[in-house]
Amino acid sequence: MLIVTAHPDDETGFAASVYKITHDLKGKVDLALVTNGEAGFKYSTLAEDIYGAELTDEAVGRELLPTIRKREIMAGGKIIGIRNYYFFDQKDTHYTLDHDTVLTQVWNVKWVREKLKELILREKYDYIFCLLPTPETHGHHKAATILALQTLSELALLKNVLSSSDVLFLKRQTLQSQF
Ligand SMILES: [Zn+2]
């Protein structure tokens, strides 16, 4: 299974499902992360003491958070059982509900779709998990899900789209599900 999300921590919204898949069902889970998470400086007050840096200062946060958040996501991923990480390091500009701007002006969407395509074809995932792109969701969450959907439909591999309250499950066309 592949998780496609925008920020380093979006996967925590369905961490229990990932844990179940990797531990109880012996599934393999990889994570493709679109942004570097640098806009998290606004929410880093509690982390300042831990890391001994003024992370809520925009310049400091934008410089240090990409590395810190990669380390954090990998530490959490060790517990829930994530196998491989694919960091696409696109810019995490700011909070917005607008997915269009990020897709047309900020991220290199052609490059991201190409990377996703390579991964999906190489690893033959049965499922892709994304955040449900509801209107009130962060524009980056919506945009990451749109890129996953576009890639699968470009490959003509999208069989089924299922959703829970906040997760979208995309089932791949040609493989039999083992779940
Ligand atoms: Zn997020």
Quote the ligand 1 centre to 178 CA distance (angstroms).
29
Q: The tokens of 37 are what?
A: 């998470």
pLDDT at 84 over 50: yes
Quote the ligand 1 centre to 131 CA distance (angstroms).
9
Looking at residue 175, its pLDDT comes to: 44
Q: Predicted confidence band at 159 (pLDDT cuts at 50, 70, 90)?
A: confident
pTM of the model: 0.91
Quote the ligand 1 centre to 143 CA distance (angstroms).
11
Architecture, CATH, for domain 2-38+67-172: 3-Layer(aba) Sandwich (3.40)
Quote the ligand 1 centre to 10 CA distance (angstroms).
5
Q: Predicted confidence band at 177 (pLDDT cuts at 50, 70, 90)?
A: very low
Quote the ligand 1 centre to 157 CA distance (angstroms).
26
Q: Predicted confidence band at 155 (pLDDT cuts at 50, 70, 90)?
A: confident
By the CB criterion, residues less than 5 angstroms from ion ligand 1 are 7, 10
Domain ranges in the chain? 2-38+67-172
